[in-house]
Amino acid sequence: MKISVMVNGMPGKMAQIVAEVCSKRELNVIPFSLTGETLAEFNGYALLGVEERENKIGQILKEHPNLIAVDYTHPSAVNGNAEFYVKHKIPFVMGTTGGDREALIDLVKNAIHPCVIAPNMAKQIVALQAMLEWTAKNFPKVFGGYDLKVVESHQKTKADTSGTAKALVSSFLEMGANGVEPIIEMVREENAQISKMAVPPEHLGGHAFHTYSLDSKDKSVHFEFRHNVCGREIYAEGTADAVEFLAKKIEAGQNKFYDMIDVLKG
């Protein structure tokens, strides 16, 4: 099956690099992108706003029947975009974080809609997440009595709290850790990113630095988990993997909701 990909979220940096990676893999990246911007065109892509996309999507799907959408838009657009994909029967990979995640999952499950949804598309970080989920299920309360503190730094344009941080916090809480309010500290100010998080200045515009700290009550024992990413390519490669995985599942008639754990297993 020849895969066509519509990367939504142009002219955002993440959408741009995903389009580049998909093109390198010889996927057919079509020259249309859903956007919240007022621009009509960007680097050869026709940008479709909320009203215009309804007028254009029929012709796009006619010309590209095996279309898979990739979503790297804005947290405020997550649920509306998902409803659009379901309405027009467009399989999708949701890389955008935020929105009402419970409503999002309910929507695709009830519609039996083929998609991949994950708070993080980086395979190695997803594997770490899976290990912590396994630990939480098999060793509940192992961090009982420990205080949890999380600090995450992303480029200042990221509007919401890291979905990955939220997922890992959930696992640590299942292990019995106590959340110290605020459990997740967002760092978006660039001077603090350099001084506090040690983000290289050249990567202030695109990075993800996370530190998870667990301390015993008397502070005599300290555990620290950290994953630092400079740039965006790790997420783009994982996203392209998710597109190819979803295409194979659709071809096999296995139309349902998947996450990045499924992609890793596949």
Domains defined along the chain, listed by start: 4-117+233-265 (3.40.50.720), 123-230 (3.30.360.10)
CB atoms within 10 A of CB 30: 18
Q: What is the pTM of this model?
A: 0.85
Q: What pLDDT is attached to residue 71? A: 98
- Amino acid 159: pLDDT: 82
Closest CA to 232 of 85, 139, 120, 126: 120
- One digit per residue, the tens of pLDDT, for the chain of length 266 reads 689 999 999 999 999 999 999 999 999 999 999 998 888 999 999 999 988 999 999 999 999 999 999 999 999 999 999 999 999 999 999 999 889 999 999 999 999 999 999 989 999 999 999 999 999 999 999 999 999 999 999 999 888 899 899 999 999 999 999 987 789 999 999 999 999 999 999 999 999 999 999 999 999 999 999 999 999 999 999 999 999 999 999 999 999 999 999 999 98
Q: Which residues are catalytic?
A: 154, 158
Peptide bond into 11 cis (omega under 30): yes
Q: Which two tokens stand for residue 171?
A: 């696992």
Angle between the N-to-C axes of helices 50-63 and 78-87, in degrees from 0 to 180, rounded to the nearest 10: 40
- Do residues 143 and 112 make contact, with C-beta atoms less than 8 angstroms apart? no
Q: Which of 97, 96, 94 is nearest to 86 (CA)?
A: 94
Beta bridge partners of 45: 42
Which pLDDT score is estimated for 16?
97
